[in-house]
Each structure stands twice: as structure tokens, then as C-alpha cells.
């Protein structure tokens, strides 16, 4: 793995940018060829399609006030250490006024290091409720 950066930092920066509504910073963490299984979309989308969706249909409703990342695992793929699979759970906590329970997503991402770590593929899935 590259000693010049940590792939987890790209994920954390993406979530931090989301919380403050900084779309440019968020999308800077996505490779131009990135594909996404976004929890809010029915199918696989590209970075360009995500950008278009957010522009044409800004998110409405309650937004999380915090995103907590846990259960982080990084697996280096064979090669020169510039390609990893990163899995984690992200828990969105909403303001009390929203009266919404925390939302947990299982996430897996493939990241590649070029000049920095960028996400090539990002998959979000709501965590199943345990009974």
C-alpha cells in the first residue's frame, strides 16, 4: 500500500464533504470513471450520473448531522499496492427534531492510488435489521 496516503482518508473526506454540502470536494474523491450503487438510487450509476441527479434533484428531507464510520477493513489487492478494497459500516445520526432513528449502511469501495486515493467503485446497502 502506498506510504504517501491512507485510503481511509478518502472515505472520511467524502463523508465530511457530504455533511457540509460540499459537492465539489465530495466528487473529488471519486475517480472520473467511478461507478456507484447508491443507497438512494435503484441501479448502478456513474459519477457523471450522480452529479446530474444531485443537480436536477437536490436531496430533500432530513439530512444526517453526523456520519460515524466503523468496522473498517482494508484489503490490498495483488500488484503494486495502489489498489484496495475498503469495507466499513457508516451510521448516519439525524437531528433530534427529525425524530428519525440512526441509519446504518454497509459499504464496500474499491480505491486506486494515483496522485491520491480515489474511489473507483462505491457500494452502499442498508444494513438488515437484526431481530
Q: How many domains does the chain have?
A: 1
pLDDT in tens, 43-100: 899 999 988 888 887 777 788 999 999 999 999 999 988 999 999 999 999 999 999 9
| 48 occurs within a structural domain | yes
CATH number at residue 78: 3.10.450.50
Q: What is the pLDDT of residues 3-36, one digit of tens each?
A: 456 999 999 999 999 999 998 999 999 999 999 9
Residue 83 lies in a domain: yes
Q: Which helix (H) or strand (E) holds 12?
A: helix 7-20
In a domain, 42, yes or no: yes
Q: Is residue 2 part of a domain?
A: no
Distances (CA, A) of 49 to 52, 80, 85, 127: 5, 31, 23, 25
Residue 117 lies in a domain: yes
* Residue 86, in any domain of the structure: yes
Is 131 contained in some domain? Answer: no
**Angstrom distances, CA of residue 10 to CA of 6, 15, 22, 32, 119:** 8, 9, 14, 15, 8
* Domain range enclosing 12: 7-126
Q: What local confidence, expressed as pLDDT, does residue 5 receive?
A: 67
- Burial classification of residue 17, based on how many CB atoms lie within 10 Å of its CB (0-12 exposed, 13-18 middle, 19 or more buried): middle
Amino acid at each position: 500500500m502506498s506510504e504517501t496516503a491512507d485510503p481511509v482518508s478518502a472515505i472520511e473526506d467524502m463523508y465530511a464533504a457530504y455533511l457540509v454540502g460540499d459537492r465539489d470536494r465530495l466528487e473529488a474523491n471519486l475517480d472520473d470513471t467511478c461507478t456507484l450503487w447508491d443507497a438512494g438510487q435503484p441501479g448502478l450509476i456513474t459519477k457523471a450520473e450522480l452529479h446530474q441527479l444531485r443537480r436536477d434533484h437536490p436531496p430533500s428531507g432530513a439530512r444526517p448531522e453526523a456520519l460515524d464510520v466503523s468496522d473498517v477493513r482494508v484489503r490490498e489487492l495483488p500488484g503494486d499496492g495502489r489498489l484496495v478494497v475498503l469495507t466499513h459500516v457508516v451510521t448516519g445520526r439525524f437531528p433530534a427534531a427529525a425524530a428519525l432513528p440512526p441509519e446504518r449502511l454497509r459499504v464496500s469501495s474499491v480505491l486506486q492510488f494515483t496522485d491520491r486515493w480515489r474511489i473507483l467503485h462505491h457500494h452502499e446497502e442498508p444494513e438488515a435489521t437484526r431481530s
